[in-house]
């Protein structure tokens, strides 16, 4: 299909995703010079009488999220229409959805699980206090940013309490994440989101759904009639028993038996994770840094709280030393790499131990070998740095990271090459990469990570490696 060059006031930069109902674009707001994501739906579908109020659902998303302001919720800027298309302009978030992350790493480290759950529950606290229920919490609707932060998106079937909107049927949702009352068509409230959050908690801890079955009907039967096996009792896994009562309460069949609020769910998780510190020394440092509140429901950092987890490197490693490993691991693990590197660095005593620990997160043996080659093999950035300094990659004689100057000719060459691939948004990507880059080669690696398409990434790297004229 032919794509527009502009929607409303927004310039179209590239296609991010395409489906039967519409297209999601990366756009640029020239008025305030910022990137946006633009979700579209064809008006012909909005006007069709197919038994589903697509127009109401689409506008509902704009109205639902438009009243929310929270760092854990993808912001919506505008609802608009042109002759053929209705669109929503929203915050552009770099990262992958949690479904992609779990596809690569089915079981996440318990510290990461706690942190993701706390961020999700903070966002739900904000939404619920505003009278908005998401109704479709699942991994595909949660975005993990390149900083390892979790953001909630896709409020397309949200319910706005007391709103005079046409509401979709109570049974709309995703099988396996829907609460029993959704299946039964009974009255629903915010606690359906807490049930779905409980399913997600179980999924991240165990690598499997609590109600997995071969058909949607069988899934429904399990949700209505079966109690899932407690995570700590699943053979072959090592999950702390402190999570069992949290999961059981979140997945209670009767809404009144579940947590009364997202904040109560969050508090229980923080309490249990604190107990877990005393029984699992291996996780003590990770959990201790993650069970603290990241944000209050109003979006402000709590008094005395540390800066957000994942933003600072552990004390025995400086951030510049970890950056090459993070860049290499990102090729295989996506945005989760940042979190995994920092967690591994808390216990690794030397460079080799850290590299080995990180490689264990890559399930495919061939990919693991490629990862280790990137870290220390011939021609790798870490290997070259080690040979240049006569020691461990990324360290000088005093343990400080080795930095190579990035000249203005290199920067301009990179800007031109990236602009050919991304258009006007290139200068924003370049600015962000320059803030982290320690050498021209590292700058090239950071820029290449911005492209998901392998062919496009290879083309960019080839252009970047050519000598600037």
| Catalytic annotation, residues | 136
Distance between CA 282 and CA 286 in Å, rounded?
Answer: 8
DSSP notation for 171-213 = T-S-TTTS-HHHHHT----THHHHHHHHHHHHHHHHSS-TT--
Distance between CA 449 and CA 398 in Å, rounded?
Answer: 30
- Phi first, then psi, for residue 231 (nearest 5°) are -55, -40
Distance between CA 445 and CA 329 in Å, rounded?
Answer: 12
Task: Determine the 3-state secondary structure of 76 from DSSP.
Answer: strand
40: β partners: 87
Phi-psi region of 8 (alpha: psi -120 to 50; beta: other; left: phi over 0): left
242: DSSP letter: G
8 Å CB contact between 287 and 117: no
- Phi first, then psi, for residue 12 (nearest 5°) are -85, 125
Backbone CA torsion sign across 67, 70, 72, 78: positive
Q: How far is CA 337 from the centre of its chain?
A: 11
Which residues are CB-neighbours of 8 under 8 A, at least 6 positions away? 78, 80, 82, 87, 89
Ordered alpha helix ranges (H), 226-364: 244-250, 262-277, 284-290, 319-333, 336-345, 351-359
Q: Which two tokens stand for residue 456?
A: 């496009």
8 Å CB contact between 278 and 225: no
- Phi first, then psi, for residue 151 (nearest 5°) are -130, 140
Distance between CA 384 and CA 371 in Å, rounded?
Answer: 15
Distance between CA 331 and CA 320 in Å, rounded?
Answer: 18
139: DSSP letter: G
182: β partners: none
- With CA atoms as reference, report the closest residue to 240 among 277, 265, 203: 277
> For residue 151, what is the enclosing H or E element?
strand 150-152
Which residues are CB-neighbours of 280 under 8 A, at least 6 positions away? 240, 287
């Amino acid at each position: 299909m032919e794509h527009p060059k502009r929607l409303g006031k927004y310039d179209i930069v590239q296609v991010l995703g395409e489906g039967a109902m519409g297209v999601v674009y990366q756009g640029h707001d020239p008025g305030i010079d910022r990137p946006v994501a633009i979700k579209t739906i064809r008006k012909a579908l909005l006007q069709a009488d197919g038994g589903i109020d697509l127009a109401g659902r689409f506008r509902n998303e704009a109205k639902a999220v438009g009243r929310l302001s929270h760092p854990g919720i993808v912001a919506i800027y505008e609802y608009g229409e042109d002759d053929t298309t209705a669109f929503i302009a929203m915050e552009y978030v770099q990262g992958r959805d949690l479904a992609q992350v779990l596809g690569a790493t089915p079981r996440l480290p318990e510290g990461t699980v706690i942190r993701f759950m706390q961020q999700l529950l903070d966002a739900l606290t904000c939404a619920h206090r505003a009278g908005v229920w998401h109704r479709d919490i699942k991994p595909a609707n949660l975005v993990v940013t390149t900083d390892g932060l979790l953001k909630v998106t896709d409020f397309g079937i949200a319910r706005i309490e007391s709103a005079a909107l046409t509401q979709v049927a109570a049974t709309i949702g995703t099988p396996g994440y829907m609460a029993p009352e959704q299946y039964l068509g009974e009255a629903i409230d915010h606690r359906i989101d807490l049930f779905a959050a409980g399913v997600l908690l179980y999924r991240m801890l165990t690598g499997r759904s609590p109600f997995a079955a071969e058909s949607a009907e069988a899934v429904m039967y399990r949700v209505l009639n079966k109690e899932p096996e407690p995570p700590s009792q699943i053979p072959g896994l090592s999950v702390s028993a402190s999570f069992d009562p949290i999961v059981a309460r979140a997945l209670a069949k009767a809404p009144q038996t579940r947590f009364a609020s997202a904040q109560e769910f969050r508090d229980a998780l923080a309490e249990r994770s604190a107990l877990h510190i005393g029984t699992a020394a291996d996780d003590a440092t990770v959990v201790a840094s993650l069970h603290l509140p990241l944000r209050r429901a109003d979006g402000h950092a709590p008094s005395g709280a540390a800066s957000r987890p994942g933003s600072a490197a552990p004390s025995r490693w400086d951030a510049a030393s970890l950056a090459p490993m993070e860049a290499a691991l990102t090729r295989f693990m996506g945005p989760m790499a940042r979190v995994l590197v920092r967690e591994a660095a808390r216990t690794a005593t030397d460079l080799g131990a850290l590299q080995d620990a990180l490689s264990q997160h890559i399930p495919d043996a061939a990919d693991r070998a490629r990862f280790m080659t990137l870290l220390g093999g011939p021609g790798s950035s870490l290997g070259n740095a080690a040979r240049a300094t006569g020691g461990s990659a990324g360290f000088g004689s005093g343990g400080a990271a080795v930095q190579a100057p990035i000249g203005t000719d290199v920067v301009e060459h990179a800007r031109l090459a990236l602009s050919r691939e991304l258009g006007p948004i290139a200068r924003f990507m370049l600015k962000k990469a320059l803030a982290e880059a320690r050498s021209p080669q590292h700058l090239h690696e950071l820029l290449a990570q911005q492209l998901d398409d392998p062919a496009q990434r290879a083309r960019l790297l080839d252009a970047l490696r050519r000598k600037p004229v």
